[in-house]
Amino acid sequence: MRLTSSFAVFRYDPEDKDLAKARWFGREGNVASAEAEYRGALRRHPDLSSAWLELFELLRRVGRLDDALALARDARTHFGPDAAMPLAIEGAALVDLGRLREATRALESALERDGNLALAWHETAYAAYRAGQYGRALLALDRAFALEPHTDTLMLRGKILRATGQYDAAVVAFEAAMQSAEHDIPVRDAEGEIAATRRAATFDGRRPADFTVRERMFADSGTVVLDDTEAPAYGAEPPSADALAAGLALVPAFALDAGWRPAAIAGALPADAPLADFLAHTLGAAVVPPAALDPADRPLLVTCCNDGSPEWSKHAARLARWKEGVLLAFAQPPATAMPADLAVTLRPMAGAAARSLLAAAIAAGPISGALPEPIRALARNRAAPWRCRTAPVA
């Protein structure tokens, strides 16, 4: 559960003031410095529960799950076997690691020691949610919220309701989370969940568990993926250059089907020039520097690998402010801060690997490709982000 205190850099509690630098680094995304400050605070104030909890949440948030579990067990050693909080965060770490039976035992032990610990009820709800026990999860959330009303509890309620196909109720929960948030990060998180829920609601009332892989990717990020998302080993094996060339060849068909013709194309980074040149040739557009993009040109901003670089985010934000243009990434990780409207692949890969595969796909030359119906349906989806920015051209 994301702790509200971790957003508040300046506190009145004398010991909490020792966490100011750690919280500042955490908000700025400087994980290494934040961790060092938290560990320093714990050496000075080993009984400071907020330092244990916030460092645990920091490690959890950046995916260092084994380190988060080790920290939870260090907390158990420090606070002793009768303390509920260390067991609660140990259970949370075990949930994230997929060890649900062990997690349930740890969380039940935490609640036996303190039945009024809201954190333990929240994490119990999360464990039930991960296990697909949605009714049990909602009951645990009711208890958590009654003990400590919290933005993250509302966010989790929204996710559970969305998983059960109750999209309107999920939006209400996310909107409540957004309105109750006191800081910009949870507000942005809630806005993203609202948008994802509204995209999910466009699939004829089906539950997310019934979505195809491509539909799930679209619901989660708003990105239309062009390669073969239904391949059995998607994401587990590196893509072939031929498969990526076929996906890249669908970009002109996408533009034709959408009635969208960009007049200017820019690569977000200098390394994106080969992709910008290739698409400019196939789409009949001019290549310009990203700073020269103009909303009147119905611009296309491209990048080889959308790894959340500042330059990509800066120029993508300009298109969002203009409410004009389309974003395209050759490769994009499954989760990124500024997702593209189109991605050739969502298979995880490093930038160097993406550039190498892009060069091979371009070397295959322009290939004619008809737009498959599943991609056409997503391109025409009323909740597609690009449709809010680019009107069809007659």
CA distances from residue 384 to 127, 198, 339, 387 in whole angstroms, order as listed: 32, 10, 12, 6
pLDDT score recorded for residue 8? 46
3-state secondary structure of 252: helix
First vs last C-alpha separation in the chain: 49
The pLDDT tens digits of the residues spanning 190-220 come to 999 999 999 999 999 899 999 999 999 999 9
Q: How far is CA 254 from CA 46, 173, 228, 388, in A?
A: 58, 35, 15, 16
Q: Say what the pLDDT of residue 228 is.
A: 85
User: Which stretches in the chain have pLDDT values below 70?
Assistant: 1-15, 365-369, 389-394
Measure CA 333 to chain center: 10
- Go through 336-365 and write b for each residue having 16 or more CB atoms within 10 A of its CB, e for each that does not: bebbbbbbbbbbebebeebbebbeebbeee
Whole-angstrom Cα distance, residue 385 to residue 340?
9
At 1 the pLDDT is: 57
Q: What's the half-sphere exposure (Cβ side, CA atoms, 13 Å) at 112? A: 9
Q: Which pTM does this prediction carry?
A: 0.86
Which residue has 């990526």 as its token pair? 244
pLDDT of residue 368: 64
The fold of the 4-200 domain, in CATH, is 1.25.40
Per residue, what are the HEC states of 176-229?
A: HHHHHCCCHHHHHHHHHHHHHHHHHCCCCCCCHHHCCHHHHHHHHHCCEECCCC
Q: Which fold has domain 215-388?
A: Rossmann fold (3.40.50)
Q: What is the DSSP string of 67-131?
A: HHHHHHHHHHHHH-TT-HHHHHHHHHHHHHTT-HHHHHHHHHHHHHH-TT-HHHHHHHHHHHHHT
Check residue 390 and give its pLDDT.
61
Where along the chain do its domains lie? 4-200, 215-388
